[in-house]
Amino acid sequence: PFDTECIADLHLWLKFLQQASNGINMNLLTYRQPTVEYLSDACEHGIGGYSSAGKAWRWALPQEIEGRFTLNFLEFVAAIIGPWMDHLQGELPPLSCIL
């Protein structure tokens, strides 16, 4: 009595209901106060940054690679390093709100 499209819709609803029964994380839908803030910067000679937790880092670019990357790329890499270091060290709890 049910066509293929109707059966596909029922399967989709079963999937939705399964996800809902496990709970839906509302953290991406509401305003949250950041739990940690990272600031970083870059120039043609190196990159560096620090976090609101007091960690700081810097890395001077070796002379042989100076000028090979755009400043935008170095800024992007610098922005990733702070949270990445905390994640690798297990200091970034699940559902952290990072700014």
DSSP 18-43: HHHHH----TTTS----SB-EEEEEE
97: pLDDT confidence band, cut at 50, 70 and 90?
Answer: confident
pLDDT at 10: 94
% of the chain at pLDDT higher than 70 = 99
SS3 3: coil
Global pTM reads: 0.65
% of the chain at pLDDT higher than 90 = 68
- Over residues 14-53, the pLDDT tens digits come to 998 988 887 777 776 777 889 999 999 999 999 999 999 9
pLDDT at 51: 93
